[in-house]
Amino acid sequence: MLRHQKVRVAIASAAVLTLAGCTGANDGANGGDDEVTIMGAFTDAQAEAFQADLDKWSETSGVTVTYDGNTDFQTAVVARATAGNPPDIAIYPQPGVLKSQTQSLYPLEDLGIDVDAITADEANGLGTIAEVDGKTYGLPYSINVKSLVWYNPAAFETAGLSVPTTDAELTALQQQIIDGDLGYPWCVGLESGAGTGWPATDWLEEYVLRFGGLDEYNAWIAGDLLFDSPTVTQAGDKVADELLAPDKVNGGGPGAATTSFQSAGNQLFASGKDSGQCFMMRQGSFIADFFPDDVKAQIAENDLTNVNFFQLPSPEGTDVAMLGGGDLVGAFTDSDATTQVVEYITGKDFGTNGYASQAIFLSPHNDFDTSNYTTEFQKNAQELLKNSTVFGFDASDQMPGEVGTGTEWTELTSWFTGQKSMEQAFQDIDASWPR
């Protein structure tokens, strides 16, 4: 596919129109001037809520929007773009697929979209996730956050523990738990079948982002900063201090490697060290779906007596950082209607027409009106995001597959189990990088 060029004049030739379709420069070819189609990966209740929000917006905008959810989105969007029949807009759950289609997508700047204005109230890093060669091919409309440390407030109160606000306080809290023989500071589960090891990648990413800042973090994703570099080694040493030192995790690194990520958090609700009680778990917002039923029932009632979270503190002298992911909006057609829809769903008003009621939704905008949220978790997470200066999109999801979802998983697991040193594991990951 050839890179898009804006169509600036009306062309009557059928042959040239066919060529325009092949390059993806449809200029509204999928519907009328005020009709826009969107394809994404989410379906069912989430898709219904998304469509309902857009329908409400359409009442005042005059633009009719139709959303098509496809569980095989990655294959479908590539196939349609290749055939010259893409949707007007696509919503990508991972930036890798979006970046593979930059020859077919329009840079948002070329659509007249003021990217700087849209992202002015977002944490540094959110607006450049899908930037290629200085052009922006996508912006997030909804994000998820991973730098969350889950804990049981009732258990903290019983044990006389306080929520840490700094990295030094977090270190002191861990020692307090160990010295008091209260249980284990951390709940950690790396086991995930064929995906065993992925939770360890998140832990490493947390500290590469903090110690290296966004520039080095992105260089690491691109393969320009090695795993066996001072910054990543410093991050690995920090992870080892947190998780692999004696008494930090039940069973140590080998215990973490054989504990499923889904069930690890259940020990937040145990009682006493003999029952395997742990006090903190660093994990993404999705993990609440795996808590015991009685705890999930409390969450549904916005009862935070037994479960809440705080942000993983950043070491002194580093940025307040948030690790996460999100869904990115890209455009295949150049029309006023497409531009309006992209501006709405990536702007700070999206969600105010009802979609914010979806517990999975978190606006990337600090200025979003949180009264539209229906859960305390959404409101709390938005406040943490607002106070973060840097946002890092999940690194392993952006690395080449043989690394990010391959050797990094297996080598970090070997490190945790003691089969390899950290240095050897990092060197072996570097050796697997396709160059």
Q: CA-CA distance, 363 to 143, in Å (whole number)?
A: 6
**What kind of fold does domain 14-143+326-386 have according to CATH?**
D-Maltodextrin-Binding Protein; domain 2 (3.40.190)
Q: Nearest CA to 329 among 176, 137, 122, 115?
A: 137
**Structure-token match 């392993």, residue found:** 396
pLDDT for 104 equals 96
Q: Nearest CA to 98 among 68, 125, 135?
A: 135
The β-bridge partners of 69 are: 40
Do 14-143+326-386 and 148-322+394-431 have matching folds? yes
Q: Nearest CA to 342 among 326, 361, 328, 363?
A: 328
Backbone angles phi, psi at 347, to 5 degrees: -90, 175
Residue-range domain boundaries for the chain = 14-143+326-386, 148-322+394-431
**Domain at 148-322+394-431: CATH architecture:** 3-Layer(aba) Sandwich (3.40)
Q: CA-CA distance, 192 to 258, in Å (whole number)?
A: 9
Tell me how crowded residue 9 is: count the other CB atoms within 10 A of its CB: 4
pLDDT for 33 equals 62
State the 10-residue block means of pLDDT for the chain, 435 residues long.
31 30 41 83 96 97 97 95 96 92 97 98 95 96 97 98 98 98 98 97 98 97 97 98 98 98 97 97 94 94 96 97 96 97 98 95 96 94 96 94 96 98 98 94
Name, in order, each residue with C-beta under 8 angstroms of 340's C-beta and a sequence gap of 6 or more.
Answer: 61, 63
pLDDT for 333 equals 97
Q: CA-CA distance, 382 to 428, in Å (whole number)?
A: 38
